[in-house]
Every structure is written in C-alpha cells, then in structure tokens.
Amino acid sequence: MQKTFTYIDDHFEGMVKDLQAFCAQPSIAAQNIGMAETAHMLVQKMQEAGIEARVLENENGYPVVYGEAKGNSDKTLLFYNHYDVQPPEPIEKWNYPPFGSEIHDGILYARGCSDNKGTLLSRVHAIEAILKSGHTLPVNVKFLVEGEEEIGSPSFEAFVHAHKDLLQADACLWENSAKDEEDNPVVKLGNKGMLYCQLHVKTGNTDVHSMNAPVVPNAAWRLVQALNTLKDEKENILIEGFYDDVLPICPEETEAWKKVPSPEEGLKKRLGISRLVNDAKGDEVNIALYTKPSCNICGVVSGYTGEGQKTVTPCDASAKLDFRLVVAQDPQKIFSLLRSHLDRKGFTDVEVSITSAAAPTKTPVTEKFVQVICRAAEDVYDKPLVILPTAAGTGPRDVFAYTDMPIAGIGCGHAGSVQHAPNENIRLTDYKEAIKHVAALLFHAEQEEIR
C-alpha cells in the first residue's frame, strides 16, 4: 500500500489537473448542458486509469457511465457516483467563475467539485494509483455513475432494475461525504427520504386591481393560509399520521450519535446566524438535523415581485415544498396524508402534485463493511472517522433497497464546501486524503470481511 501512497504523492499535481478539467466541463442536468460530453470525458478518464469503462445508453434519461476493474479476490465493491451538477446560479455571487476550476490558496473553486465530481474522480485516481504502482487491484470494483442525481434521479430506479446482474456487489461505496465542522472525516450510512411537491391555488381567471381586494379572493393569501396549517412554531408537523411510521433508534446508533460533534457553533459562524431553529443547542442540533423529519418551503411565487410597487390581487399562487423523511416513512403515503390534511382543513381548492419522491434508508452501524472503512481511514487520517448513522440530505439509495448490501458514503468535501451554493469548493489536501482512503479501503477489503 505504501507504494500506492507514494504514487499518489508523486502524481498528485496531474490528478488535480484532471479534476480541474473535469470540473471545467459543465454538466447541468436541470438545464441539459454538457451531459453527453461529460459522460464521454469521464469514460476516457476512467479508461486512462485502467478501468474498463463505457457509456450505457439510458433510454429514459441522461446516459449512465459504467466501469469495471477486476481484482485479486472475488469480492466486489460497487461505487455509486453522479457526474451531473447543480445549476451555478446565482452566478454573480461566485468569487470565481463556476466552471473556471480556479485554485486559490490550495482550494479548488468549481460547481460540482465537492458534489460530486471530486469524490467520483478520487475513486478513479485511487484505482489508477493502485494499478500504476505495480499492484493488481485487491478486489473487484464496479462504477455506476448516473447523470440525474441533482434532478432527483428520475430514471435511475428503472435503470438499476434493468441491470441488476451487472450491478451485483457485496457492498456499495456511496457518493458523498464531507469533513465535519471540526474537520473530522465522516462516513455516512444513510439518507433521509424526500417528498418534493408543489402546491397551487387558482382563485380566478385573472389578476385584478387591488381595490377589489375586499371582495375578490387573493390566491397568495389562500396559499399562505394553507401552508400555515402544515407546521407549528415548534417545528411539529401537523399533518395527521405524519410521524406514525418513524422508527425508534437502536442503542448502537445512539452511541454513534454521541461521538458526532455538534455543528452548532460552526453553523452559526459560517451562516452568520445567532440562533438555530427551536434554539437547538449541542446534541439537540444533531438529533434535529439527522433524525427528525422536516417540512420546508423552498419557494413561493405569486403576484408582483418586481421593482417598485404594483397594486394587484393575484389569482394564482404556487409553492414548492420538500419534506425530508426518516426511516421508515413512505413518501407516497406522506403525500396522501398531505392531501387528506388539506381537504380536512377546508383547502380542497389547493392542488398538490409530486415532483419527486425517495424513501429514507439506513445501513446499520454494526455492519462489518463500516468497520473496514473505519480501519482504512486510520491509514490516512490522523483523526478517527466519525460514523454518521444517517445523512441530513437525500439520495437515491432506496433504489438498492432490493439488495441487502451495506451502503456507506465517503467523500472529499469539508464543512465549508457549500455544495449547491455559490463558491462550491474543496481543499486539495482533502482531495489527496480522499484518494488515499479509497485506495486503503480496497487493500483492507481484500484482507478483511466486508459482509
């Protein structure tokens, strides 16, 4: 393994250049920009690293990149990643161009460098380093890289189900993780689920002069009143039955949570806020962030929002909401509970539609694969890996619910990587460690039980 680490140190500059080039290629799924080009670029980089890679056409969506590298043992690890990125807007908030891939003071700034191109390429570079430092690969590796994660993976489930044999593996390394507020490396064992939906109210055929407000219904008020029934001021979600399927947390997981540092102070400082929701402090922050479901308004649109004033009573109003769900809430069931709730509260005129849905998932902290990832981390990091039993975010892990393979996420971001926001960045030192961690994991996986 030492030869591989030396290779990484000696060739790191070239690896960073690869990453810069990869991040400079836009791949914005939401805007259909650069998708096929990026998939082909990735295949080429994987082939250069010694991975048999190809684009698999995906009739329902953006192409999927698949890669395979044969190993010494018959164990197989599946790497799940995505090559699409979030839109860069608002571009004026970026200090450097979002697709400029500029490096300043050891930090790479680029849309997607943390989520998820850096993590993806760190795995490609790990394999390159193992193969080019004179080793054969310790275990079999399969890459599954989709192009629709940032738009909710609409065709991913069908794709995976159509390729079950190809994707057969003993364990899966998931796409994403980042160092926490105290710079501890983190492994993530689960995802929250999500129900994303839109509410729409139409109160008439046309907006009218606001002198009519005393008699003509206002769609914006109607929507606000409906939204106001969903949650109380203590963050309790008031939809009947909403919490019914939430599972209790096992003792091993409770222990793991105690070792996760509270992000309270770091969050406040970084975001410039003086208090968190419900005045959460210390451990309460992690409990709320990771183990509680939420109901969030992503955006509300109605009436006139331009410069100056316009006296108008709008006839249309819409809102986008996301509910983050925890094991074992079912997004489809939550959707029908939401509909029933609105009806019961007298808002039958408020239309609701689903934009996307993903179920929550969690790999038990007691899985052997998790311990192997932790031992591999000891070869690289000077701090122990923090086990995060579930992440606060959502991804399509539930697509693999048909297998019982453990799924764990590691990555190259840090607490200030600002994924999805302007100035997304990674530190190059973290990138190098991420490459080494993946390389170390492959060596450990050959020697140790992963199931």
Shortest Cβ 211–Zn ion spacing (Å): 46
- Residues of span 280-309 touching Zn ion by CB under 5 A: none
> CB under 5 A: which stretch of 34-42, 104-112, 113-121, 133-141 binds Zn ion?
113-121
Out of 115, 148, 398, 433, point to the residue binding Zn ion (CB under 5 A).
115
Helix axes 12-24, 2-10, angle to 10 degrees: 60
Shortest Cβ 115–Zn ion spacing (Å): 4
How many positions of this chain bind Zn ion (CB under 5 A)?
A: 1
Nearer to Zn ion, 27 or 76 (CB): 27
> CB under 5 A: which stretch of 34-42, 62-70, 114-122, 226-234 binds Zn ion?
114-122
> CB under 5 A: which stretch of 34-42, 108-116, 210-218, 251-259 binds Zn ion?
108-116
Residue 288 CB-density burial (10 A; 0-12 exposed, 13-18 middle, 19+ buried): middle
- Whether residue 320 contacts residue 355, with contact meaning beta carbons closer than 8 Å, is answered with yes
Helix axes 35-48, 12-24, angle to 10 degrees: 160
Nearest to 27, CA basis, from 65, 73, 57: 65
Nearer to Zn ion, 4 or 116 (CB): 116
Nearer to Zn ion, 115 or 264 (CB): 115
C-alpha 191/C-alpha 143 separation (Å) is 20
Helix axes 428-447, 12-24, angle to 10 degrees: 110
CA atoms within 13 A on the CB side of 145: 32
Shortest Cβ 153–Zn ion spacing (Å): 11
Nearer to Zn ion, 114 or 329 (CB): 114
Shortest Cβ 150–Zn ion spacing (Å): 5
Nearer to Zn ion, 82 or 427 (CB): 82
Shortest Cβ 85–Zn ion spacing (Å): 8
Shortest Cβ 377–Zn ion spacing (Å): 23
Shortest Cβ 89–Zn ion spacing (Å): 15
Nearer to Zn ion, 389 or 395 (CB): 395
- Whether residue 442 contacts residue 135, with contact meaning beta carbons closer than 8 Å, is answered with no
Shortest Cβ 353–Zn ion spacing (Å): 23
> CB under 5 A: which stretch of 111-119, 232-240, 258-266, 441-449 binds Zn ion?
111-119
Query: What is the residue-wise DSSP string for 239-267?
Result: STTTTTTPPPPPHHHHHHHHTSPP-HHHH
Which residue minimizes CB distance to Zn ion?
Answer: 115
Nearest to 174, CA basis, from 112, 73, 82: 82
Nearer to Zn ion, 115 or 433 (CB): 115
C-alpha 217/C-alpha 313 separation (Å) is 8
Nearer to Zn ion, 112 or 406 (CB): 112
CA atoms within 13 A on the CB side of 269: 8
The verdict on 433 binding Zn ion (CB under 5 A) reads no
**CA torsion sign, 168 to 15 to 105 to 377?**
positive
Q: What own/partner pairs with CB < 8 Å and gap ≥ 24 does 6-10 have?
A: 6/133, 7/129, 7/132, 7/133, 8/125, 8/126, 8/129, 8/432, 8/435, 8/436, 8/439, 9/432
Shortest Cβ 255–Zn ion spacing (Å): 29
Helix, coil or strand: residue 137? strand
Nearer to Zn ion, 147 or 314 (CB): 147
C-alpha 310/C-alpha 304 separation (Å) is 7
Report the interface residues with Zn ion, using CB under 5 A. Answer: 115
